[in-house]
Amino acid sequence: MRIRTDLALEAREVCEEGIQGSRIPGVEIENNEQKNCKITTVEIKTDEGSEIMGKGIGRYITLESNLMKYDDDESREEMIDFLKDELVKVFGPEKNKKTLVIGLGNWNITSDALGPKTVEKTLVTRHIFKNYNKDYDDDFTEVAGMSPGVMGITGIETSEIVKSIVDNIKPDRVVAIDALASRKMERVNSTIQISTAGIAPGAGVGNARKALNKDYLGVDVVAIGVPTVVDAATLTIDVLDLAIDNLIEQSQGNDGFYQMLKSLKEDEKYNLIRESLDPYDKNLIVTPKDIDETIENLSIIISEGLNRSLHPGRIQS
C-alpha cells in the first residue's frame, strides 16, 4: 500500500527510505537552490525506475517555496518568474507551437478548482489566429483553453473529452492543470510540480481516471499541479511525529517505546494508521481552511507563468 502522493519528489523520498538511501536505478536527481525557491528535478529514464517509483517515464520538476502562501504582488511576481523560467525550458525553443490548456477538476469544490480557475485567467488566442488567418506572430502563440469538468458532472470520461478536442483542433501539445495530493502537510499549497509524463485526472483524491499522456493523446503533454490536499492518515503521521519528538524530550530517559515508534518507516506508519481508519470510513481528504484565497492566488501564479512562457510578447502585468 503506497503512501498517497502525486509528487515524484515524495515518491522518491519514500523509495529511498525503503532501500536505505541507495540510488534508485534509472532515476536521476538534480537540485537547484535559489533564493526563496528550491527546484528539484527528478528524471525517470527507464522502465525499472518507473516501476519502483510508481510514476511514468519523464521529467518531474518541483518548485518549493513559501512565496505561494503570501497574497501580495511582490511574492507573486517572484514566484511567477520562477515558474515561467522552468516552463520555458520544458516547452523548448520553438516559438510557433499550438497549445491546448486543459483545466482539470471540479469547479464546485474549492480544493479541486485549481485547473478551471487557472484556465479562466489564461490568455487564449486561437480565435484571433483563426479570424485573421495567421500561422505565426512575433508576440503571441496560438493557445486554446477549456475546463472539461469531471465525470460526476458530465457523465463523460475527461480523457474522452480531451481526446476528441485534440483530434479536432490538432494542437502540438497539451498543458493539463490539476490539484494534487501530498504526503507532507508542509508542501500543501507551497509546491508546484511540472511533469512531462502526463497526468491521471482525479489521482489526488484516489479516483484516478484514464491518463492523459502522449501515448493516448498523440501529442506532448505537460502537467502542472499543486498539492492542495492530504489524506487523514498522512496528516496523522505528521502529528504523530511531532508528538513522539515532544514525548521523547519529556520522557527523562524512559523513551524506549517512543524510540521504537520513531524508528518505524513512514510507509509502515502510514499503513498502520490507514488500516485503523479505513474500517470506520475516517480516512478523510483534508485541506487548509484558507483554501478559497489560496486557490485564487495559485491560479494567478500558474496562469501568468503560462502566459509569459507561451507568449513571447506578454507584457508583465
292 and 192 belong to one structural domain = yes
147 and 253 belong to one structural domain = no
Nearest Cα neighbor of 227 from 274, 252, 193, 200 is 193
Judge whether 2 lies within some domain: no
Judge whether 1 lies within some domain: no
178 and 273 belong to one structural domain = no
Whether 1 shows a pLDDT value over 50: the answer reads no
64 and 96 belong to one structural domain = yes
Q: How many Cβ atoms from other residues are within 10 Å of residue 168's Cβ?
A: 8
pLDDT at 251: 65
211 and 85 belong to one structural domain = yes
pLDDT tens digits, residue range 287-306? 888 999 999 999 999 999 99
**Cα 146 to Cα 115: distance, rounded to the nearest angstrom:** 9
261 and 186 belong to one structural domain = no
Range of 223's domain?
8-233+284-310
pLDDT tens digits, residue range 235-278? 777 677 767 677 666 666 566 666 666 666 666 666 767 676 66
* Residue 317 pLDDT grade (very low, low, confident, very high; cuts 50, 70, 90): very low
How many structural domains comprise the chain? 2
pLDDT tens digits, residue range 188-223? 999 999 999 999 775 544 555 678 999 999 999 999
pLDDT tens digits, residue range 70-102? 989 999 999 999 999 999 999 999 988 999 999
pLDDT tens digits, residue range 101-144? 999 999 999 999 999 999 999 999 999 999 999 999 999 999 99
Judge whether 117 lies within some domain: yes
308: phi then psi, degrees, rounded to nearest 5: -75, -25
Judge whether 95 lies within some domain: yes
Query: Global pTM?
Result: 0.85
Judge whether 288 lies within some domain: yes
159 and 245 belong to one structural domain = no
Q: Which residues contact 285 (CB under 8 A, 6 or more apart)?
A: 111, 181, 205, 229, 230, 231, 232
69 and 170 belong to one structural domain = yes
